[in-house]
């Protein structure tokens, strides 16, 4: 059994392919999980899909043929070329998969190092998988430890000090191009990314006009943002597109919503920032129409990476230590039940044999207690060294081999491990979503 991860990110996959792979639609994600679980080697699964990545995190009974199987499932559901996918994907096994998960949770693998959104996105992905009964105790343990790792990175480094998001990078780029103070910027969508964009725009002393289909939701958002935030129905999109200069779009639409047919020619320059995946904007760029997509913001990101490089080195050290700690933790979880099962099995066999001895007259019933005490002493003496040595092996490379061998030799079954609070993540998101 092992952890496994198939990863498509801004580092290895272009935005057009990431758009096709996106699981922003829950029905699509639900169908993908159903599809891959038809393979009995896949015991648990979690899919994390954001504007910069698609991570398929698995717990497997056996990894043989899994790469091929997952890629085929993606091709079938997402209409992508298999050869193209296989050349882009990064594959991680066991400690590599856990190290990658911890790096992602700690925002070290993000387009913007130190951004805070990824923690909430991972938590949502975990809850979805849990609700769909696609993940159990093994992925739960990994995710809980990932949040613990993220908390350690946050507390022991300054990597999330003045945290940055893709939305903040887009606004930062806009500030380089145009004076935002007093200007009305249009934000399309009312989700988390749009809300972050609004907050950054307001901090830049701009006003915001938010377009959304759900007017109750956007009204509530404007009330939270204050008097410089207004809203309109997205039904007015064409009129708005031809009345303002700066636009930020971050909807969950499965296809582009801003297209050439909606635009009229203007004498002034309009700036479009598409921070959605799949992309919201499909228009031709020219000297009066400037379009930036997620991948176009890398210049600002590189500046961010340079500033945070030293802190990132410290953070990666924490991730490495936490990865080792996680596997030691798993070893202990496996070792202690084995010791307990060994003693329980030995005691049960001893009691059966004791009753047989009394029944056949080898022992008198009056000697039952004395015989029981003697048997317990013999069992404790016999099991002392195996118990001590098993505990010493906990966390070592040989641990799994020895445990599996002993389970086989003594016919011990895996203990049913329950009791984890499925929704209790060790990293609290509260008070850590500031911009």
The single residue of 51, 149, 222, 425 carrying the catalytic annotation is 51
Q: Is 141 annotated as a binding residue?
A: no
Torsion of CA 186, 187, 189, 191, to 10 degrees: -160
Q: Is 322 annotated as a binding residue?
A: no
Q: Is 114 annotated as a binding residue?
A: no
Q: Is 136 annotated as a binding residue?
A: no
Q: Is 110 annotated as a binding residue?
A: yes
Residue pair 100/146 in contact (Cβ under 8 Å)? The answer is: no
Q: Is 121 annotated as a binding residue?
A: yes
Residue pair 89/18 in contact (Cβ under 8 Å)? The answer is: no
Q: Is 24 annotated as a binding residue?
A: no
51 is catalytic: yes
The residue count of the chain comes to: 435
Q: Is 419 annotated as a binding residue?
A: no
Q: Is 191 annotated as a binding residue?
A: yes
State the SS3 of the chain: CEEEEEEEECCCCCHHHHHHHCCCCHHHHHHHHHHHCCCCCEEEEEEEECCCEEEEEEEECCCCCHHHHHHHHHHHHHCCCHHHHHHHCEEEECHHHHHHHHHHHCCCCCCCCCCCHHHHHHHHHHHHHHHCCCCCHHHHHHHHHHHHHHHHHHHHCCCCCCCCCHHHHHHHHHHHHCCCCCCEEEEECCCHHHHHHHHHHHHCCCEEEEEECCHHHHHHHHHHHCCCEEEEEHHHHHHHHCCCCEEEECCCCCCCCEEHHHCCCCCCCEEEEECCCCCCEECCCECCEEEEEHHHHHHHHHHHHHHHHHHHHHHHHHHHHHHHHHHHHHHHHHHHHHHHHHHHHHHHHHHHHHHHHHHCCCCCHHHHHHHHHHHHHHHHHHHHHHHHHHHHHCCCCCHHHHHHHHHHHHCCCCCCCCCCCCCCCCCCCCCCCCC
Q: Is 120 annotated as a binding residue?
A: no
Q: Is 239 annotated as a binding residue?
A: no
Residue pair 315/106 in contact (Cβ under 8 Å)? The answer is: yes
Question: Cα angle at 250 between 308 and 111, to 5 degrees?
Answer: 20
Q: Is 190 annotated as a binding residue?
A: yes
Q: Is 418 annotated as a binding residue?
A: no
**Binding site feature residues:** 50-53, 110, 115-117, 121, 189-194
Active site residues: 51
Binding site residues for substrate, as ranges? Answer: 50-53, 110, 115-117, 121
Could you tell me which residues are annotated as the binding site for NADP(+)?
189-194
């Amino acid at each position: 059994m092992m952890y496994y991860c198939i990863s498509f990110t801004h580092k290895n996959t272009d935005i057009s392919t990431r758009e096709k792979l996106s699981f922003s639609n829950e029905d699509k994600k639900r169908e993908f999980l159903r599809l891959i679980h038809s393979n009995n080697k896949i015991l648990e699964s979690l899919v994390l899909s954001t504007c910069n990545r698609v991570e398929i995190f698995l717990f497997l009974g056996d990894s043989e043929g899994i790469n091929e199987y997952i890629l085929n499932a993606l091709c079938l559901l997402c209409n992508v070329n298999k050869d193209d996918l296989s050349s882009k994907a990064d594959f991680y096994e066991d400690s590599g998969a856990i190290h990658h998960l911890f790096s992602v949770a700690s925002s070290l693998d993000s387009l913007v190092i130190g951004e805070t959104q990824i923690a909430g996105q991972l938590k949502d992905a975990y809850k979805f998988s849990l609700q769909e009964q696609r993940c159990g105790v093994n992925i739960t343990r990994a995710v809980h430890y990932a949040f613990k790792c993220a908390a350690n990175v946050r507390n022991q480094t300054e990597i999330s000090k003045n945290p940055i998001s893709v939305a903040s990078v887009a606004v930062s780029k806009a500030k380089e191009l145009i004076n935002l103070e007093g200007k009305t910027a249009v934000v399309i969508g009312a989700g988390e990314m749009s809300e972050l964009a609004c907050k950054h725009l307001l901090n830049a002393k701009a006003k915001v006009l938010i377009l959304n289909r759900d007017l109750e939701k956007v009204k509530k958002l404007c009330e939270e943002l204050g008097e410089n935030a207004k809203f309109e129905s997205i039904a007015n999109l064409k009129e708005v597109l031809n009345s303002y200069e700066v636009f930020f779009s971050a909807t969950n639409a499965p296809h582009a919503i801003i297209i050439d047919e909606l635009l009229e020619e203007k004498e002034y320059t309009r700036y479009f920032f598409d921070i959605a995946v799949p992309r919201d904007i499909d228009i031709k760029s020219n000297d009066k129409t400037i379009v930036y997509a997620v991948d176009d913001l890398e210049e600002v990101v590189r500046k961010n990476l340079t500033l945070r490089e030293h802190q990132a080195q410290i953070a990666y050290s924490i991730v490495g230590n936490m990865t080792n700690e996680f596997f030691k933790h798993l070893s202990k979880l496996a070792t202690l039940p084995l010791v307990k099962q060994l003693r329980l099995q030995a005691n049960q066999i001893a009691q059966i044999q004791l009753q047989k001895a009394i029944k056949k007259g080898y022992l008198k019933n009056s000697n039952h207690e004395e015989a029981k005490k003697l048997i317990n002493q013999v069992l404790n003496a016999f099991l002392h060294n195996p118990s001590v040595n098993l505990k010493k092996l906990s966390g070592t490379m040989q641990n799994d081999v020895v445990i599996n061998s002993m389970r086989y030799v003594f016919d011990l079954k895996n203990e049913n491990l329950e009791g984890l609070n499925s929704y209790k993540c060790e990293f609290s998101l509260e008070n850590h979503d500031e911009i």
